[in-house]
Structure 1
């Protein structure tokens, strides 16, 4: 990749995509189906030689299919491969120039253990460029025919970029790894799995060089990181204890068989990536560290000219980012970003741990990711998306950019609201990050607006400044609501200080952070003081239940999706694992909304899926029944064939969630609706 190849790219974008001045948006907000649909395009990948492109598509927004284009003939219709009537394609990627690794999903009453379990299963297979299944003779030891059919060819460990015919896969039950020839169908076991070891990691040559062991030291649970040295000998190199919560992991490999990259957080608030000398068993220099965010991985070249060289380092910022160390990749990224009209907005960012303020530049409304590229780095697949823009996929080749497709084409002309990265101070002074989505002021005026506080699940999770696939933020912004996603204490991905501050604070300081976010919205003139609700899912559903309990008068109503009515369910789940018993179980203490049911003072809407195995529907049913006995206003909806995670939601269920929440807010939230 050279800068000459990208010359004139801005003009090429306008020519290739047919960009023009947008027409006036319709005055009516977009239908719920525009947000709830299956993405019209997702999971886009280009072949290593750049001759073909594959994506998962959905023309009608309901059923998904596979589309395969000839890269040099994008004007022609792709070859489309439909999903099986019983299962659905959810992901695809090139593993060789003419072989695709495809994942499907199916609703089933079967689990790998053989017991009946009403849930969704995933299966993997290999297809050729015509969409035909490749005949594979793989049979994992110890699996019944039904179990083998269930898992397909197992998990992809390595595409073996230097092997033109084979890949490395792993049996998800026993942990054995196999070299699988995609053209003869033959397989050979590379390494046996073990009850002692898990999480095998292969280098670019396909050699398993790292694995982990869960064990106990005088009853204390720990994870040991084992590494294979250049002579082929395994040894334990690192050990981190569950109770300390300071993970050490292998972030990547280098071309030097004695040097690997290790992710380490000791002595820092954010993970850094170090070089590690296997022979000397010693951490060396910091290979990459960001002053404000955690480093997470290493990006290496697959080009024959510089195979295995480090191209960049990934890190967790306001969204997943890559620091491109390779000058050509950095130049390409910057020029593509400019060509696609990404503008930066400056944010004064206060570090939660140190209190130091730095200037952070983030994309205004959207940003780009290079999601796939050829081995020689001459052709790229670009994803452009953000809080105000549903994903768009572009192909850059021969110095020209072409639009491949939009995930939510019905929203192209919609008046979506501005989204920004913000921070506010909790009542004890802790700095809380948040993502704020406001209605379009040209449609709804300058505010204040009716507002929704939307805490994420987990609670060890986080939100990103990216398109919200659930639709919860922009659906309500297009209806005049402001939405705040607080990254409350206990959230992961923003540093150790914020994460650990949530220990034992369920329904207490963690809840204060959400309430303080509501008060901050009022102070900023964003939220109307008497028109605020809370809507959360999973742990966020628990938080919404607690919002109904708290006697602070902040909220007019609460909406709880699949929320645990007590902490007991979470604590039992973490206690049953000896590792989680020390890692997460001690942090889950606080208030139980069910035990304070008599204090509920606002209307609440509960919804959950009938197939939810993570937070069983009985949690919502029990909470609703207790409220009904007390004569308190409550609504309950059980959605059919819905599991806990969003990948199992049908468009019909997603649409039902959006529209039923909207109806509840209008008709049942507070005295006059929200």
Structure 2
């Protein structure tokens, strides 16, 4: 029986009980790490294995403040000096894509402007680069506009499918930015020649191919009916048929993944199908009907399915699905894959989220990574039955000295159940608390990865709460829409969710109510500004980074760039949101405002207008401008982080009321 067919048996999971884990405190074992340790970008990232397993590549930063280089290692002799590849003055982006045993691609970026050109118009441009060790001059830039690799074609040597966006002019005032189509080519990396496969068009803007280079399904937009449209190709034909339609005003999702290998004319799709949570279904494309549920839960959405660990021998196979709540869990459809995963968990020290990031075509050589709250990322090579540690992403941060993260559930003041993640410092409580709301706000936050900011704060004695306030994704449609469907809750119930989490921890005896602060970035920065002006004040200070200060201005950025449900989401979020600009006279706690000078997502005008209003109102505040920084974490370099972390900890210690009082590490 096929592994996928076996999935039909007892794979459905309903319900799910929220876990309230004990928040344990232990003896302080070490002084806080130097800020230099936190400010450095990851020393090693993107370890990737060649198809034959004979070598692997990684990106490495050799010195603090330096740019990444690529190192190429011999899998049979890790002591051998690696081949080093630099791309100055361009900056190498983490990760390489192996195409053949001697050929891989990577991308670079280079700053080409001193200032942003407007909303979502940053200062970088990107380039694809090829490395071919069989050539006398192995490094070569590809003379073509920046493209995405859609599919590696194992049966077609040195050939891949690439895509790039098409420019489509506006039609009678209709926004096309969101639905910009892509065109697809088969590209030969040896000859640098390409063959057009499909020209992008609005009605079929995104196309998926299998490992043989055959187009299997596509999606687009029907401007006449305002529907998202989905198409499929019956096997062995070139005929496109409509599979499904979804109103663009719908908040439900329908995402075809791959053809279902055990049911002809069926596809595995992520969809709601009338349910609150997102599940994996088998969908009959011929009859346009859902056939059966493969895996769904009542408590949280499922994530995208994961592929077979050997993408070369099993290129189009779905091996299982994951879901995240207290931590990220995996459900395997393939028994052999499940057994391999369990075996790896016994081999890898401090195993948390163990992943096979590369496997040779014969299956005998693997690159395995481990990550989690107490592991920024550690990479291992398994070859000839031997496990060798390649490197840690941040090898100077020790597992036992990093803080544990616990999952909590609490009730908001109106009875809504809220989940959150608490990073617990080493030492004895009650602790000072930093509430750190995520950005977005409509994103999903999990604990399957290392969080630098919360670990930095915990290492300096602060407990950190990351509340999954209403509007956070992965908890179903109702919870997501509760932030905006009846009018904006930004600055209202969404704010209560954060405060109620802090008060919950106080009630548990874990937090000192006289030592609480809020620090957030982007939407989280907006939340910090709102917190500063709350009349029923519970915080001693706030730090607002990259904050939306004028909802009307932010709304204008999105107004003509979105359609349907996404546009409604932004309209209802910002149109009725409490405006920090108008709340300035109510500010009643010390405030630090931080912004990047090249922030393209929340442009610096937000910062400029807000501090001008603070000055007019005579409000005392502190500010920090990160010169050259954009909105996103991969543009916060060493000098930015040092400046931010020094200012943040100094502000908490010396300018945040009684935040540093007591016996916490923060007072050392």
Say if 2:204 is the partner of 1:197: yes
Say if 2:538 is the partner of 1:554: yes
Say if 2:516 is the partner of 1:535: no
After superposition, where does 1:266-415 map in structure 2 within 5 Å? 266-301=273-308, 308-318=316-326, 321-342=329-350, 366-412=352-398, 415=401
Say if 1:299 and 1:578 are closer, same or farther in 2 by CA, change over 3 A.
closer
Aligned to 1:88: 92
After superposition, where does 1:560-579 map in structure 2 within 5 Å? 560-579=544-563
- Range that drifts further, 432-441 or 197-206: 197-206
Aligned to 2:18: none
**Structure with higher RCO (Cα < 8 A, 6+ apart):** 2
SS in 2 for 1:381: strand
Counterparts of 1:86 and 1:575 in 2: how far apart (Å)?
Answer: 34
Gaps of 5+ in 2: 1-26, 168-181, 662-668
Aligned to 2:9: none
Counterparts of 1:129 and 1:296 in 2: how far apart (Å)?
Answer: 37
1:458 to 421, 440, 446: 440
After superposition, where does 1:5-154 map in structure 2 within 5 Å? 27-61=30-64, 62-109=66-113, 119-129=123-133, 139=144, 148=145, 151=146, 154=147
Instruction: Give a deviation string over 1:364-422, Cα, whole Å, max 9, x none.
Output: xx432222222343322222121122211112222221111011122127722221122
Say if 1:573 and 1:587 are closer, same or farther in 2 by CA, change over 3 A.
same
Counterparts of 1:557 and 1:111 in 2: how far apart (Å)?
Answer: 31
2:481 to 475, 500, 503: 500
Counterparts of 1:130 and 1:25 in 2: how far apart (Å)?
Answer: 54
SS in 2 for 1:497: helix
Native 8 Å contact 1:434 1:487 kept in 2: yes
Aligned to 2:623: 636
Counterparts of 1:300 and 1:448 in 2: how far apart (Å)?
Answer: 44
Counterparts of 2:54 and 2:455 in 1: how far apart (Å)?
Answer: 37
Q: 1:649 Cα shift?
A: 1.5
2:241 to 218, 225, 235: 235
Q: 1:318 Cα shift?
A: 4.8
Q: 1:517 Cα shift?
A: 0.7
TM-score with structure 1 setting the length: 0.85
Gaps of 5+ in 1: 1-23, 140-147, 344-365
Say if 1:376 and 1:524 are closer, same or farther in 2 by CA, change over 3 A.
farther
Native 8 Å contact 2:377 2:394 kept in 1: yes
Q: 1:586 Cα shift?
A: 2.9
1:155 to 148, 169, 175: 148
Native 8 Å contact 1:54 1:93 kept in 2: no
RMSD between aligned residues:
2.7
SS in 1 for 2:472: coil
Q: 1:511 Cα shift?
A: 0.3
Instruction: Give a deviation string over 1:161-204, Cα, whole Å, max 9, x none.
Output: 22222000012345221111112222111111123332322222
Q: 1:489 Cα shift?
A: 0.4
2:583 to 583, 593, 596: 596
Counterparts of 2:456 and 2:120 in 1: how far apart (Å)?
Answer: 37
Q: 1:110 Cα shift?
A: 9.3
- Range that drifts further, 253-262 or 509-518: 253-262
Native 8 Å contact 1:111 1:117 kept in 2: no
Aligned to 1:253: 259
Native 8 Å contact 1:137 1:187 kept in 2: no
SS in 2 for 1:296: coil
Say if 1:303 and 1:522 are closer, same or farther in 2 by CA, change over 3 A.
closer
Say if 2:176 is the partner of 1:172: no
2:411 to 417, 425, 436: 425
Counterparts of 1:509 and 1:261 in 2: how far apart (Å)?
Answer: 37
Instruction: Give a deviation string over 1:270-317, Cα, whole Å, max 9, x none.
Output: 211112222233321222334543233344455676564442234444
- Range that drifts further, 610-619 or 236-245: 236-245
- Range that drifts further, 208-217 or 299-308: 299-308
Instruction: Give a deviation string over 1:513-537, Cα, whole Å, max 9, x none.
Output: 0000110110122211000000000
Aligned to 1:348: none
Say if 2:639 is the partner of 1:655: no
Counterparts of 1:384 and 1:633 in 2: how far apart (Å)?
Answer: 45
TM-score with structure 2 setting the length: 0.85
Q: 1:118 Cα shift?
A: 5.1
Q: 1:602 Cα shift?
A: 0.6
Say if 1:672 and 1:540 are closer, same or farther in 2 by CA, change over 3 A.
closer
